[in-house]
Amino acid sequence: MIAIFWAIVARDLRLALRHGADTLGAVLFFILAGALFPLALGPSPELLRRMAPGVIWVCALLAALLPLDRLFGAELEDGSLDQLLLLGLPPSLVALAKITAHWLTTGLPLLIAAMPLAIMLGLPFATLPVLLAGLLPGTLILSLLGGMAAAIVLGARRGGVLLPLLVLPLATPGLIFGAAAVDAARTGLPFAPDLELLLAFFAGALPLAPLAAGAGLRAAAE
C-alpha cells in the first residue's frame, strides 16, 4: 500500500518535470506578483519592510492556487481517476498522494522562492528563519486545503471559479498566524505562539483534508 502511494507521488513528480511550465508558472507568478508591490507602493524601505510578511503570504496563497485546477481535473478528463481509484488504495490516500506531489512541485519551490523575495522587500535577515518556519507548515496547509477543495469541485461546471472561493476563506487563519509570526519577529516580540497555532492548524488539516478529498474523488467518479 505504501509502495503504491509513493508510486503515485513519483508519477506526478515525473509529470511535473515533463510539463515544467506548469510548475515554473506558479513560482514565477509568486515572484512577479511580489515584485509588483514596490512598483505600486513606491520604494519606501520602511513601508515595504512592514508589508513584506503579508505580501509574501498573500502571494504564496494565490500562487499555490494556480495548479490546483489541474490536480484532479486532468485525471478525471483522461479516465485516470477510475484507474487510480481501482489501485486498491483508499481514495483518501490517493488524494493524499496527489496532495504530497502538489506540495513537492508547488509548495517547496514557493518556500525557496520566498527567500529572494523577502530579501528584495527588505525583510531583515534575522527574520528569514521565522518566515520559512511559518511558510513550511503554511504551504503544507495550502496543499491540503487546496487539494481538498479541488477534489470537492471536481466535475462541477466552472469548478476553477469555485476553487478560490472555497480555499481562500479556509486558508485565512494560516495567513493571519504566518504573517503575524514574521511581524512579531521583526518587532522583537515572541513569535513562537503564532508558529504553534500554525502547526496546530496543520495537524488538524492533515487527517481531515484527505478524507474530504477522498469523498470528493469518489463522488466525481460516480
From 53-61, 72-80, 143-151, 167-175, span contacting another protein (CB under 8 A): 72-80
Residue nearer to another protein on the CB measure, 12 or 194:
12
Is residue 83 a contact residue for another protein (CB under 8 A)?
A: yes
Helices vs. strands in the chain: H and E counts, helices first:
10, 0
Q: Which of residues 109-148 bind another protein (CB under 8 A)?
A: none
Question: What's the sign of the alpha-carbon dihedral 46, 169, 132, 69?
Answer: negative
What's the rounded Cα separation, in Å, for the pair 49 and 123? 5
Is residue 90 a contact residue for another protein (CB under 8 A)?
A: yes
Is residue 24 a contact residue for another protein (CB under 8 A)?
A: no
Residue 63 CB, nearest approach to another protein (Å):
22
What's the rounded Cα separation, in Å, for the pair 119 and 124? 7
Judge whether 65 and 117 are in contact, CB under 8 Å. Answer: no
Residue 11 DSSP one-character state: H
Provide the binding-site residues for another protein, judged by CB under 8 A.
3-4, 7-8, 11, 14-15, 18-19, 78-80, 82-83, 85-91, 218, 221-222
